[in-house]
Amino acid sequence: MSRDEQLKVRLTKEEMERLEAYAKSKGYSKSEIIRDYIKRLPKPCPER
């Protein structure tokens, strides 16, 4: 799977620290953590 899209997100210092700590505790990158959360979102319904 090719990852061509990028997303820029602004976080507070606390949010970044929480993300970094969580990623480190799981042994994943910050990007992997975000992608995992996105995969949990419901798929969009097709338009009628």
pTM for the model stands at 0.80
What is the maximal distance between C-alpha atoms in the chain? 43
Half-sphere exposure of 27 (CA within 13 A, CB side): 0
Number of independent structural domains in the chain: 1
Q: Report the alpha-carbon distance of residue 31 to residue 5 in Å, rounded.
A: 13
Q: What is the pLDDT of residue 47?
A: 79
The 10s digit of each residue's pLDDT in 12-39 is 999 999 999 999 999 999 999 999 999 9
Q: Would you say residue 28 lies in a domain?
A: yes
Q: Does residue 41 carry a pLDDT above 80? A: yes
Q: Report the alpha-carbon distance of residue 22 to residue 19 in Å, rounded.
A: 5
Q: Which residue type, as a one-letter code, is found at position 46?
A: P
Q: What is the pLDDT of residue 1?
A: 79
Q: Would you say residue 46 lies in a domain?
A: no
Q: Would you say residue 17 lies in a domain?
A: yes
- Look up the domain containing 33 and give its range: 12-40
Q: Does residue 48 carry a pLDDT above 80? A: no
Q: 27, 28, 31: which is closest to 6 by C-alpha?
A: 31
